[in-house]
Structure 1
Amino acid sequence: MTRSVYVTGIDRGDGRQVVELGVMELLTRQVDRVGVFRPLVHDGPDRLYELLRARYRLSQDPADVYGLDYHEASALQAEEGTDALVSRLVERFHRVARNYEVVLVLGTDFAATQLPDELSLNARLANEFGASVIAVVGGKGQSAESVAAEARNAYRAYEALGCHVLTMVVNRVAPGDRSAIAEALTDQPPVPTYVLPDEPALSAPTVAQVTHALGGKVLLGDDSGLARDALDFVFGGAMLPTFLAALTPGCMVITPGDRADLVVGALAAHSASTPPIAGVVLTLDERPDESVLALAARLAPGTPVISVPGGSFPTAAELFGLEGKLNAATPRKAETALGLFERHVDTADLVARTSVARSGRVTPMMFEHDLLEQARSNRRRVVLPEGAEERVLRAADVLIRRGVCDLTLLGDTDVIRKKAADFGIDLGDTQLTDPVSSELRQGFAERYAALRAHKGVSVELAYDVVSDPNYFGTLMVAEGLADGMVSGSVHSTAATIRPAFEIIKTRPDASIVSSVFFMCLADKVLVYGDCAVNPDPDAEQLADIAVQSAATAARFGVEPRIAMLSYSTGTSGSGADVDKVREATKLVRSARPDLRIEGPIQYDAAVEPSVAATKLPDSEVAGQATVLVFPDLNTGNNTYKAVQRSAGAVAVGPVLQGLRKPVNDLSRGALVQDIVNTVAITAIQAQGEPA
């Protein structure tokens, strides 16, 4: 039977999209097929649905998402009554529900809908849909006492109308009132009630939205600059020293176009991160001289300079009524919204209350969701030696907004701050460290010299070595100043892992360092090892790789069933390569009789039940293997890339295993999401280490 969750409110302006996005995130962690239904919709694009469709790769036909538009609904209700309206919407809801395991219903928005008693209509629809209700109350601009009373009244209203209320969410409250409101709502209403503070970055318009609202023309700037949030507006009219003192981080500067001194001053301040600004708006359709614009472009590449036709007063009037919106064009706002929801909502309890059983299938998206949730549950610090690299900074932005882990970025701190400002990234309290000038450098040099004394390394030589970010980051991990390290987006694998071999070394229970990839197929996750480190392991090393890979699989929720791969299955083949795999299988069975393992076995017999039924009918692994151990690097590396490209699998890794503390390598072609996933994996690995 399809489950459905109905997110609704009591008035407009409650910021309900944060809750709707958060609930969608939770549902897609549990099941593969989640549908969306909005009973009533306004004319024009539905920004939230477009965001959900892009973010969660929904294949649902947009025509099935909506019931009726508000004009149709109002006319139908006026002509035939509420029962006819509800009947039409119930029919359209079930057209969606029959195709999905769970449906997220987005309630009406109370915005000029011309529908009487909208709260009662939402309650009735929830009941007719058989949906549980999450009710949202907006608290912006209200006192703590008023918000608490409104939340209690909202609960009573929906309960009195027969709704099963899962939870209440009070949103957009003043941060200073959050604790008092939460305490006031401890016992009443008698369901969990979560209180979310107002987050300025969510209501702040982006520079692109400001440009559109003002009918502006972009003189300078790139897409990254246009995506910045305008957190404040500073109107320039004073002399330069007074004006500079008024600038705030993330502000949008509004100034007449003939004030070249203020334009250049604002962009120079941004370039020095004192402070970074969102951009500059030039009023009255005036623009500086071309030489000034050329200087501006060199001072702060990518920072938007916009020309608008209006004067300062009409521009101000337009801006102060402008609020940012969650949509597909603002993915960073979505990360902020999810981070806010996950920090203040007991997501595990909410999932349990929805009674949505977890699907037996594990999709790539579900696996990625689980990584972030597991990392967030017990935060660790991960050091990123490539702190000035754009992809690393953008990954850091996601990790910070989602609250996944604490970060240390290595590199020239001025360069990191400037690049972060250019990309519109707020690093918050992220630790920035320059290995060259750090006070830790001398101590690290002495530690490294002691470790490598047998190789003739002096303190003087070590002092140079540890200024390398990968060595410095590895020493931070070794000294307990960070829990793990991720590098490799611009460094080679050797440059990333050599310091770990020299400083951190292997665990007592591991003979070698090896690696796995998590191969996220359409309906399951497989673990491939070793596809990145050991060229031609012998039988003992292959056995060690199998044991380590099984442990890594279990650590990340994949039940280990090990297939020791070869070009023959069972006793059908012979030769040195097959004998090596056969011997490795025997070693694993002897050392770890608790592990389920089969080998030698061919790939098709390992993963395809119909082939396994013919070749190894009595095996408890054949046809359902989850951990696939390749006989050598040539086979493993080529196979993972073939599956990745041909089957459209998401390959997460390589994840190193066997080290005393976690260090992981990135592909130099790693995407931002790859870096996010690898950092989350590293943080989870570190959770097994002493804090």
Structure 2
Amino acid sequence: MAAAPVSSVYIASPEGDTGKSTVALGVLQALAATTPRVGVFRPITRSATERDYILELLLEHSTSDVDYDMAVGVTYEQVHADPDAAISEIVMRYHDVAKHCDAVLILGSDYTDVASPSELRYNARIAVNLGAPVLLTVRGSGRTPEEIVQLVELCRTELVAEHAKLVAVIANRCDPDELEADADALKRAAAVPSWALPEVPLLQAPTMDELCQAIGGEIYSGDPELLHREALEVIVGSMTIEHILDRLTDGVAVIAPGDRSEVLLAMVNAHEAEGFPSLSGIIMNGGMRPAPSIARLIAGLKPRLPILATDLGTFETAKAAARSRGRISLSSIRKVDTALALMEERVDARELLRQIEIPIPNVTTPQMFEYQLIERARSDRKRIVLPEGTDDRILRAAGRVLQRKIADLTILGDETAVRGRAAELGLDIEAAEVLDPLTCPLRDEFAQEYARLRAKKGMTVDRAREFMADISYFGTMMVHMGVADGMVSGAAHTTAHTIRPAFEIIKTVPGVATVSSVFLMALSDRVLVYGDGAVVPDPTADQLADIAISSSRTALQFGIEPRVAMLSYSTGESGTGADVDKVREATKLVHERAPELLVEGPIQYDAAIEPTVAQTKLPNSQVAGQATVFIFPDLNTGNNTYKAVQRSAGAVAIGPVLQGLRKPVNDLSRGALVADIVNTVAITAIQAQQESGATPEGSAS
């Protein structure tokens, strides 16, 4: 048996429709959270010309430089032609992949074309030749606990016959009512760690776009964004309106002929009406379109609900829809989140990794850092307020945060509108609190407090009530009063709009007069702290010292040992001029205010980060060549440098993270992606974990 040069795991199953991609995503995330370079390998794929959508999905979540062509072994056709030669080719191609990885997830075949005598046994042969232990995945649906155990024992026999090493078992797609019984039966019978996952209809549900392809249809009207929503059920609307309405459920798609105008109008209005389920879409069949007057009426209503049109008859449309199965693909963000949350909740990742024997790394990759952020936030959930409830990115991020239990959330906005739009997008935000600043009873209480804080500025309670109608002021007051632990805003508003209320209400921590920011720069092997890149345009020496001290505290909050470099165009005593003198003075102030800090300045960037340069320029420094916190002399330098490193070095820039405030408020870029918002919520929750929780006192100056 060839010894694998890296840690690896082979995910195999004895049948199709096991939901193996769900398991693979969860295992891949666990590997990427603990191992720097994680690759993916697919020993057998369906076709040399047709792209394997599961492989594409996994490669998107991997962390190595392995591309699609490298990650493919052989096709079914090659296996049928010469099984032994196919294994030789697989072994060679696998080792080419392994050269670029610290760990490899190997995904077995899909049973689209079963090889004789046993596809599982052939997968076992591959696993043995790759030196990879096997994680067995079986389907639990339609089976009793005893039948699942019998299937696992049969598979074990197949694996043993080929000398494959079984390290864990996952029974997926189990009947939710039998889930615990299935899990208990596996634990009693299996000689290896085992877990059971429930059937989740969403993971098999087709999107409206997939349904459109299945019926050979076209889009008649509606919001294209909603074509990504899954249809959890498809019904034929052939009965009277009242009976159709009684059968509507969240996520249902309704089939109706294009000339059934009363059905079309009823469905469009039911989707928008409060108290009715949110539909996934309407499928007009029969090749008919609404009459011109009805078409004008529908157009006038401007429905966001997707309406598809097909030439198929009712029976053919229903049959095609029933055959359509959803895929977890690159565009299936909600399914990916659901799969990851399912694996996180039901499978002990640490125990699984122990079985695979993953070594402990000595580096931190962006994926590892992001995973650590989420784990820390989840360990002590805090309530974060998201003021921009009308932004789809905020709603999508909220759905992910809630699903993965990263934080508790309060979303600001009209509750009917916020929850209605989330439902349209197929998002579950039921666990979120939704408050409307215009009608919330807290508005009067907040106005009283804001008037007290700003009394010296002539603030009255009546004027304060007007301020509390603003989402940023209302959200900031929630944090100040302890109703929320932190706030994340700025996706649709300026930085000033987000942080001005914090200056007035929350104010700075004792000993620090400057509110500033840092970016957490996740490089390929470590995480650095850059400050300030977003708030203070041209800091004085005193402000630079504040920024350095705040940045070192932020670094500690996120597990980064602070070694502070006060950056300038000159290193040590060699340079002169107002700019370098400012940095020199700031360094002196840091030494005075925080003598325990390791700080060096003025110092050039290359001397701060590169040991060989440091040895030449500052050979006796405890910071030079190993700095972790970089303080830039002004906003122009800081902002441009973080963007240059982000784009040129492929770093993941997380932030800006505001610092110096008594309670956490964080600003988003207006171009923030959903993942950026999720990370910022996690960061804000971690900051809140560090806070004492005391409500600021005193008046704003």
> Does the alignment reach a TM-score above 0.5?
yes
Q: Per the alignment, do residues 156 and 415 of structure 1 end up closer, same or farther by CA in structure 2, a change over 3 Å counting?
A: same
Corresponding residue number in structure 1 for 2:20: 16
1:630 to 629, 632, 635: 632
Q: Distance in 1 between matches of 2:92 and 2:637?
A: 54
Corresponding residue number in structure 2 for 1:45: 51
How large is the RMSD of aligned CA atoms in angstroms? 2.5
Q: Distance in 1 between matches of 2:353 and 2:381?
A: 21
Q: CA deviation at 1:590?
A: 4.3
Q: Per the alignment, do residues 298 and 432 of structure 1 end up closer, same or farther by CA in structure 2, a change over 3 Å counting?
A: farther
Q: Give the letter aligned to residue 74 of structure 2.
A: L
Q: Per the alignment, do residues 460 and 636 of structure 1 end up closer, same or farther by CA in structure 2, a change over 3 Å counting?
A: same
Q: CA deviation at 1:648?
A: 4.6
Q: Percent identity?
A: 49
8 Å contact kept, 2:56–2:68: no
Q: CA deviation at 1:686?
A: 1.9
Q: Per the alignment, do residues 184 and 465 of structure 1 end up closer, same or farther by CA in structure 2, a change over 3 Å counting?
A: same
Q: CA deviation at 1:300?
A: 5.1
Which piece of structure 1 moves more, 544-553 or 521-530?
Answer: 521-530
Q: Distance in 2 between matches of 1:125 and 1:290?
A: 62
Cα deviation digits, residues 184-229 of structure 1 (max 9, x gap): 3344424322221111111111111111111112212343121110
Corresponding residue number in structure 1 for 2:493: 491
Q: Per the alignment, do residues 508 and 226 of structure 1 end up closer, same or farther by CA in structure 2, a change over 3 Å counting?
A: same
Q: Which runs of 5+ in 2 are unaligned?
A: 694-701
> Structure 1 runs of 4+ off > 6 angstroms?
none
Corresponding residue number in structure 1 for 2:219: 218
Q: Distance in 2 between matches of 1:58 and 1:220?
A: 42
Q: CA deviation at 1:669?
A: 2.6
Corresponding residue number in structure 2 for 1:295: 297
Q: Give the letter aligned to residue 532 of structure 1.
A: A
Which piece of structure 1 moves more, 390-399 or 641-650?
Answer: 641-650
Corresponding residue number in structure 2 for 1:89: 90
Corresponding residue number in structure 1 for 2:235: 234
Q: Distance in 2 between matches of 1:600 and 1:72?
A: 64
Q: Secondary structure at the match of 1:224?
A: helix
8 Å contact kept, 2:10–2:108: yes
Q: Per the alignment, do residues 667 and 289 of structure 1 end up closer, same or farther by CA in structure 2, a change over 3 Å counting?
A: same
Cα deviation digits, residues 531-587 of structure 1 (max 9, x gap): 222334444432232122122123223332210112221111234433332233234
Q: Distance in 2 between matches of 1:286 and 1:167?
A: 54
Corresponding residue number in structure 1 for 2:681: 679
Cα deviation digits, residues 374-419 of structure 1 (max 9, x gap): 3233332211100111222232233334333222210122222333
Aligned pairs for 1:171-190 within 5 A = 171-190=172-191
Which piece of structure 1 moves more, 621-630 or 456-465?
Answer: 456-465
Q: CA deviation at 1:349?
A: 3.1
Corresponding residue number in structure 2 for 1:6: 10
Q: Distance in 2 between matches of 1:639 and 1:652?
A: 14
Corresponding residue number in structure 2 for 1:80: none
1:325 to 317, 324, 327: 327
Corresponding residue number in structure 1 for 2:70: 64
How many residue pairs get matched?
A: 686
8 Å contact kept, 1:224–1:424: no
Corresponding residue number in structure 2 for 1:396: 398
Q: Distance in 1 between matches of 2:315 and 2:416?
A: 37
Aligned pairs for 1:387-466 within 5 A = 387-466=389-468
1:25 aligns with 2:26: no
Q: Give the letter aligned to residue 76 of structure 1.
A: D
Q: Give the letter aligned to residue 205 of structure 2.
A: A
Q: Per the alignment, do residues 343 and 296 of structure 1 end up closer, same or farther by CA in structure 2, a change over 3 Å counting?
A: farther
Aligned pairs for 1:208-607 within 5 A = 208-272=209-273, 274-299=276-301, 301-508=303-510, 510-607=512-609
Q: CA deviation at 1:261?
A: 1.3
8 Å contact kept, 2:59–2:67: no
Q: Secondary structure at the match of 1:438?
A: coil
Q: CA deviation at 1:301?
A: 4.1
Q: Per the alignment, do residues 58 and 332 of structure 1 end up closer, same or farther by CA in structure 2, a change over 3 Å counting?
A: farther
Please, what TM-score do these two structures have when normalized by structure 2? 0.91
Q: Per the alignment, do residues 638 and 317 of structure 1 end up closer, same or farther by CA in structure 2, a change over 3 Å counting?
A: closer
Q: Distance in 1 between matches of 2:498 and 2:68?
A: 46
Q: Distance in 2 between matches of 1:329 and 1:536?
A: 43
Cα deviation digits, residues 217-265 of structure 1 (max 9, x gap): 2212343121110011122122223322221111101111111111111
Q: Distance in 2 between matches of 1:291 and 1:557?
A: 65
Q: Per the alignment, do residues 313 and 164 of structure 1 end up closer, same or farther by CA in structure 2, a change over 3 Å counting?
A: same
Aligned pairs for 1:112-123 within 5 A = 112-123=113-124
Q: Secondary structure at the match of 2:428?
A: coil
8 Å contact kept, 2:29–2:61: no
Which piece of structure 1 moves more, 116-125 or 6-15?
Answer: 116-125
8 Å contact kept, 2:64–2:100: no
Q: Secondary structure at the match of 1:628?
A: strand
8 Å contact kept, 1:155–1:168: no
Q: Distance in 2 between matches of 1:451 and 1:143?
A: 64
8 Å contact kept, 1:301–1:422: no
Q: Per the alignment, do residues 27 and 241 of structure 1 end up closer, same or farther by CA in structure 2, a change over 3 Å counting?
A: same
Please, what TM-score do these two structures have when normalized by structure 1? 0.93
Cα deviation digits, residues 102-149 of structure 1 (max 9, x gap): 221111223332321222222232222111221112111223443355
Q: CA deviation at 1:345?
A: 1.7
Q: CA deviation at 1:101?
A: 1.9
8 Å contact kept, 1:375–1:683: yes
Cα deviation digits, residues 592-637 of structure 1 (max 9, x gap): 4443221111122212333222211222321222210122334323
Q: Give the letter aligned to residue 211 of structure 1.
A: C
Q: Give the letter aligned to residue 19 of structure 1.
A: V
Q: Distance in 2 between matches of 1:289 and 1:363?
A: 59
1:198 aligns with 2:204: no
Q: Distance in 2 between matches of 1:406 and 1:156?
A: 46
1:73 aligns with 2:79: yes
Cα deviation digits, residues 23-77 of structure 1 (max 9, x gap): 1222223334322222222133211011123444764343332222223212314
8 Å contact kept, 1:214–1:308: yes
Q: Distance in 2 between matches of 1:285 and 1:58?
A: 49
8 Å contact kept, 1:395–1:673: yes
Q: Distance in 2 between matches of 1:145 and 1:508?
A: 64
8 Å contact kept, 2:64–2:101: no
Q: Per the alignment, do residues 57 and 87 of structure 1 end up closer, same or farther by CA in structure 2, a change over 3 Å counting?
A: closer
Q: Distance in 1 between matches of 2:559 and 2:302?
A: 46
Q: Distance in 2 between matches of 1:295 and 1:558?
A: 60
Q: Distance in 2 between matches of 1:660 and 1:350?
A: 40
Q: Give the letter aligned to residue 34 of structure 1.
A: V
8 Å contact kept, 1:4–1:103: yes
Cα deviation digits, residues 289-326 of structure 1 (max 9, x gap): 24433433453544321112222222222322332111
Q: Distance in 2 between matches of 1:215 and 1:403?
A: 39
Q: CA deviation at 1:523?
A: 4.3
Cα deviation digits, residues 500-535 of structure 1 (max 9, x gap): 223222233544322101223444432111222233
Q: Secondary structure at the match of 2:82?
A: helix
Q: Give the letter aligned to residue 71 of structure 2.
A: V
8 Å contact kept, 1:515–1:529: yes
Q: Distance in 2 between matches of 1:483 and 1:194?
A: 35
